[in-house]
Amino acid sequence: MSKFIILCGGTGGHLAPGLAVGQALIEAGHQASFVISKKQVDSRLSEKYSDLDIIRAPGMAFPKNPIKIFKFILELKRAVSFGKKLLADGKYDVVISFGGFNSLGVSLAAACMDIPIVLHEANRKPGKATRLLGRFAKRIYVPYGVKIPRRKSGQVKYSGYPIRAEIKRMPSLDAKKILGFGGDANILLVLGGSQGAAALNEWACQNFEKLAAENIDVLCVCGPGKHKFSDKTAISKDGSERRIKFMEFCDNMAAALSAAKLVVARAGAGTIAELARCRVPSVVVPYPFAADNHQLENAKCFEKQGACVVLEQRDINRLFAEVKELFENGRLREAMKKNLERVDDLNDTSKIVADLAGIARREPE
């Protein structure tokens, strides 16, 4: 049995795969602790996992404002000191980083202490943490087809996106009941990721009457601090009542995805993997200001696999037409579901767990 510490805070896109790998390691007989940030999204999601060893660590994101650089340096120094004590006290065998601002301090501490560092890059464009910490890493897991130049032999391995055990397809009627919808609801799920998406929330609110007229109900997960809407109903062309329901946060994504006939979502790697796991067709609207425009790269790859339709945010005026067409085109939705199954086959966490166990034992390459 080995001891792993998993750095996975900051956003749901970092936290969820970290929890997934930790769950798999624990199931395989290892020990795992989780380092998260003090942000609301981390606290909210981690509340579901009270049985896990969760540690909140200091840290701040690299500031865009040069005036705050000094504060960042001080906070990083504090995070490295925190990391050294944490790693020494816990006697961990491997540090696994899923990126995010609070991974840097503990990772640098591990490098100073000669503890193996493993990085997981979920996006098709490696982020700052991967580029910075890559020189210290024993292993870097990247999506299939992604190239990271100038790395030593055996350091980079291809992997899918680890998905939490509870994210799986359930019967649609059960899912609708959990979310407070009737069995005849025809649900469009609008999902902005763990941070929410103001543009998608506004679109859902402004277009609800048109959607309702087409017999479409809406479930909109707004994101922390972005819930300023009221639930309402409208009458469809055939006289049935349709409703829109807004939620600030959804802690049962399996139900939300299983209840939906179609999803409008951002293009975070975690969202894409969960769409594939639950076999839900989607219109993907990449966040246009994501670092290095990585969401657009994620979305394009997903679309090439025949698993979604991509619509850039500057063309959001076309979103209603895309949604309407997909609701009406059952054959296209079924084709997408088959392609989603192939995408999901790549997300096999067991290979990562087996490799991590070898790294913990310091096995030669």
Question: Same domain for 128 and 148?
Answer: yes
Question: Same domain for 213 and 143?
Answer: no
Long-range pairs of 143-152 with CB within 8 A, sequence gap ≥ 24: 143/269, 143/301, 144/346, 145/301, 146/121, 148/121
How many separate domains does the chain show?
A: 2
Per-residue model confidence (pLDDT) at position 45: 67
Query: pTM of this prediction?
Result: 0.88
Order of all β-strands in the sheet with 309-310:
232-235, 241-247, 217-221, 187-191, 260-265, 282-284, 309-310
Question: Same domain for 351 and 211?
Answer: no
Residue 166 and residue 250 in contact, taking contact as beta carbons nearer than 8 Å: no
Which domain CATH number covers 80? 3.40.50.2000
Amino acid at 308: C
**Who contacts 185 (Cβ-Cβ below 8 Å, separation ≥6)?**
176, 217, 243, 259
Question: Same domain for 155 and 230?
Answer: no
In the structure, how many helices (H) and strands (E) does the chain have?
A: 13, 14
Q: Is 278 among the domain residues?
A: yes
Please indicate whether residue 242 or residue 145 has the higher confidence score (pLDDT): 242
Angle between helix 12-27 and 349-360 (nearest 10): 70
Residue-wise DSSP of 35-68: EE-SSHHHHHHHGGGTTSEEEE----PPPSSGGG
Please indicate whether residue 68 or residue 359 has the higher confidence score (pLDDT): 359
pLDDT tens, 51-90? 899 998 887 777 778 788 888 888 889 999 999 999 999 9
- Please give the residue range of the domain that contains residue 118: 3-165+347-360
Per-residue model confidence (pLDDT) at position 63: 76
What does the mean pLDDT of the chain come to? Answer: 91
Q: Is 312 among the domain residues?
A: yes
Which tokens sit at 189?
């799920």
Question: Same domain for 49 and 153?
Answer: yes
Per-residue model confidence (pLDDT) at position 122: 85
Please indicate whether residue 219 or residue 16 has the higher confidence score (pLDDT): 219
Per-residue model confidence (pLDDT) at position 61: 75
Does residue 150 register a pLDDT over 70? no
Question: Same domain for 238 and 355?
Answer: no
